[in-house]
């Protein structure tokens, strides 16, 4: 079965500090895309960052970066200089290159930013 | 309006009611999706439409009936729902169904079935 596991239901971090959200996934395929989505309390899910599985270089978007370990099937998200607006549910997801059209999501991690 | 919009934002219905959820995207995308988000469960894909043709139906009960009249609009018709169908229903769109494409989500409809 294709699954995504986010082992941290909740995380908290002090404002301006760095936090890492973990994600592992299970697939036998070699070509896929990985995503981190953010869902703030307003509920509209937005894309934070994405990574192509065939690229070894970790993706970076401003304060957000990933640590992609393909062999370990691990895809963690690091948020540097945390801001109050980063408080949200964070979902890890992947999508296969071929076959099913769907994004497979993890259960999410609720991130709280402490001022 | 920009992005992906959904109406209504909240819906309460009885098990014998018939209602519809509406999604509209203003991004010129060709693919649209319905997801179900239940408490403490991962998002579940329900339906995928590409160029108004349904390309995936993930074993969803027939009490959920999707409709895609054009590439900008997606509906989810509901009838004789069960209390366990209460959830947040999210619509999304993408340029096409390519795996690299970002999906843009709407704000969701919070559905409560009494």
Min Cα distance B16 → chain A (Å) is 28
Residues 13-52 of chain A whose Cβ lies under 8 A from any Cβ of chain B:
32-33, 35, 37, 42-47, 50, 52
Yes or no, beta carbons of A107 and B40 under 8 Å apart:
yes
Instruction: Using DSSP, state whether A111 is helix, strand or coil.
Output: strand
pLDDT of residue A1: 63
Yes or no, beta carbons of A47 and B56 under 8 Å apart:
no
Mean pLDDT score of chain B, rounded to an integer? 91
Which one, of B74, B41, B42, B81, lies nearest residue B60 by Cα? B81
Residue A81 has pLDDT above 60, yes or no: yes
Which residue, among B49, B66, B87, B99, would best test binding to A if mutated, counting the most A CBs under 10 Å from its CB?
A: B99
Give residue for tokens 């409709």: B67
What's the pLDDT tens digit per position in A29-80?
A: 888 899 999 999 877 899 999 999 988 899 999 999 999 999 999 999 999 9
What's the pLDDT tens digit per position in B42-72?
A: 899 999 998 888 877 778 999 999 999 999 9
What's the pLDDT tens digit per position in A10-31?
A: 999 999 999 999 999 998 888 8
The burial class, CB within 10 Å (0-12 / 13-18 / 19+), for B4 is: buried
Q: Say how far apart CA A77 and CA A72 lie, in whole Å.
A: 15
Residue B59 φ/ψ region, left for φ over 0, alpha for ψ in the -120 to 50 degree band, beta for the rest = left
Give the residues across from B90 on adjacent strands: B35
Yes or no, beta carbons of B100 and A33 under 8 Å apart:
yes
Yes or no, beta carbons of B107 and A47 under 8 Å apart:
no
Cβ contacts of A100 on chain B, cutoff 8 Å:
56
Other C-beta atoms within 10 Å of A53: how many?
20
What pairing do the DSSP bridges indicate for beta strands B4-7 and A10-14? Answer: unpaired
Distances in Å between the alpha carbon of A60 and those of A20, B34, B46? 14, 29, 31
Give the residues across from A95 on adjacent strands: A33
Min Cα distance A23 → chain B (Å) is 13
Cβ contacts of B100 on chain A, cutoff 8 Å:
33, 50, 52
Instruction: Band the pLDDT of A101: cuts 50, 70, 90.
Output: low
Residue B99 has pLDDT above 80, yes or no: no
Which DSSP state fits A85? G
pLDDT of residue A98: 66
């Amino acid at each position: 079965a294709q699954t995504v596991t986010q082992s941290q239901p909740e995380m908290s971090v002090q404002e301006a500090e760095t936090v890492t959200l973990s994600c592992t996934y299970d697939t036998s395929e070699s070509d896929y895309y990985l995503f981190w989505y953010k869902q703030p309390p307003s509920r509209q899910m937005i894309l934070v960052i994405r990574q192509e599985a065939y690229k070894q270089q970790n993706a970076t978007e401003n304060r957000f970066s990933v640590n992609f370990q393909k062999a370990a099937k691990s895809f963690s998200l690091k948020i540097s200089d945390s801001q109050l607006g980063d408080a949200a549910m964070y979902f890890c997801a992947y999508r296969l290159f071929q076959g099913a059209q769907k994004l497979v999501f993890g259960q999410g991690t609720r991130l709280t930013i402490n001022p | 309006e920009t992005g992906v919009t959904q109406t209504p934002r909240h819906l309460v219905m009885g098990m014998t009611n018939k209602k519809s959820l509406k999604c509209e995207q203003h991004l010129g995308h060709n693919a649209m999706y319905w997801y179900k988000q239940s408490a403490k469960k991962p998002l579940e894909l329900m339906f995928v439409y590409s160029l108004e043709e349904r390309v995936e139906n993930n074993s969803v009960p027939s009490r959920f009936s999707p409709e895609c009249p054009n590439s900008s609009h997606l509906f989810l018709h509901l009838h004789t729902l069960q209390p366990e169908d209460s959830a947040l229903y999210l619509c999304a769109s993408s340029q096409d169904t390519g795996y690299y494409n970002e999906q843009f989500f709407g704000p969701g409809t919070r559905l409560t079935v009494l």
